[in-house]
A = this chain, B = another copy of it.
Amino acid sequence: MPLVRIDIVKGRTAAQRRSLGEAVHRALVDTLGVPAQDRFQVIAEHEANELVYDRSYLGIKRTDAVVIIQITLSSGRTLEQKRRLYRRITENLAYLDVRPEDVWINLVETARENWSFGLGEASYAPAEKATA
């Protein structure tokens, strides 16, 4: 169910970009119980001057390797789950040599009935008969 948008500055290889996506997805699976197959991601590269980030907000030193991750997901996760997600994404990305300072995450929560994974169905909504 999550839709993950990853925005980065140009310079990584296709393999590196794919690895970024995998690292974020594994964290969603491991900390939120997202199904392993429920992976939908848009990875977009930008010129350095089109991805604007502050180099020290909150005392965190960021570089052009910054990874902006915006995840739209169903609402209902607890704060503790969100904390685990942030930590795990950051740990997984560290294995790819992304500095923890360069991991930027935002969650947008939406209703479970707001997803259609194909065939024109409300994939996660209560059974249609129930609304008849």
Contact = CB atoms under 8 A, between A and B. Distances in A.
Nearest to A49: B14
Contacts of A47: 14
Contacts of A109: 110-111, 114
Given A42-B51, A120-B86, A108 B57 contact: no
Contacts of A125: 79, 82-83
A122 B89 contact: no
Contacts of A100: 118-120
Contact of A44 (B44, B53, B91): B44
B114 A106 contact: yes
Contact of A52 (B43, B60, B122): B43
Nearest to A117: B58
Interface residues of A, number: 69
A53 B40 CA distance: 4
A108 B110 contact: yes
A107 B107 contact: no
Q: 4 tightest CB-CB pairs across the interface, nearest first? A: A90-B120, A60-B118, A107-B114, A41-B52
10 contacts: A41-B51, A58-B117, A83-B121, A86-B116, A86-B121, A88-B120, A89-B116, A100-B119, A103-B116, A105-B115
